[in-house]
A = this chain, B = another copy of it.
């Protein structure tokens, strides 16, 4: 079988370098080119990511290069708003696209404009784009031309809630998602918020109630529940490089018993290679999924208050970004989903 030819647009950020790592060790894919924005275009990869000096030393092409070698699939790992104008020409050329950014996640162009404060450049593609939470949409992903890879917070939040919402009976106005992320989620761009002396030994909530991942979460949960779901979403910045943990609080429908909840979650994810429901005595730690594409989930029922608590962890750069993107690529090219993703976490 010929290797899948992969282009990466946005190779100089953290999701970009994770993609390079994964594709370089993928048995059925290979990089054909790397592009990046104007800051780094024209440099060699080694100058931007010295840790890759032993791997290879490709040139970083500028974005929008015409006449670039035809790839089978292009990953976009760009700041939001930059992919949406470029995607149509790749699709037109017969290249499939996986956008790790936010441009194609919301189905409603008005919602996109409200949250991202600019009109969408390719609104005609929004209905076609498949939301790339593989566990929920793999059938459509197989044949998709355009996959909108989920945000990191939505990935872990939706995986925590999907078994509950599919089942029905939940009080859908009662959902609280308290999420915590390592600092790499903010990317490689400089800011005082991610300046070492400012964020080390600090913890803060940010964008409570108004984070851009909120409409994406509600859109998917509404789809799952078959009724309007509203969510309270408060993200926090944690002084660690990687890792994301969501603690989700829901009012039960009154029918749950602890055993059945556990069974329900185990059944829902039984055949999933990357989602594991922990045993009743276990709790997830971000370190346990560090460097892997895995999501680990624990579920608890509180009989005193009638609340269901679900705790989930992912590596924000892998299952929360580049790992899931490769999982989607595998799906699109009829490979087993875990191809090239059979990673064992580096511990400690």
Contacts and interface: CB of A to CB of B under 8 A. Distances in A.
Contacts of A198: 188, 287, 348
Q: Could you say how many copies of this chain the assembly holds?
A: 4
A245 B201 CA distance: 12
A55 B344 contact: yes
A200 B204 contact: no
A286 B196 CA distance: 15
A116 to B, nearest CB: 19
Given A53-B276, A345-B51, A347-B49, A245 B205 contact: yes
Interface in A269-317: 276, 282-292, 294, 300, 302, 304-307, 309, 311, 313
A182 B240 CA distance: 12
Given A307-B232, A344-B52, A240 B239 contact: yes
Contacts of A200: 183, 196, 200, 239-241, 348
A290 B241 CA distance: 13
A199 interface: yes
A54 B276 contact: yes
Contact of A239 (B239, B284, B305): B239
Interface in A302-348: 302, 304-307, 309, 311, 313, 342, 344-348
B230 A305 contact: yes
A93 interface: no
A203 B315 CA distance: 11
A94 interface: no
A58 interface: no
Interface residues of A, number: 82
Contact of A176 (B53, B176, B286, B292): B176
A206 interface: yes
A17 B283 CA distance: 20
B195 A195 contact: yes
Interface string A33-62: 000000000000000011111110000000
A242 B239 CA distance: 12
Given A285-B50, A309-B234, A348-B241, A195 B190 contact: yes
A197 to B, nearest CB: 4
Contacts of A196: 183, 194-196, 199-200, 239, 241
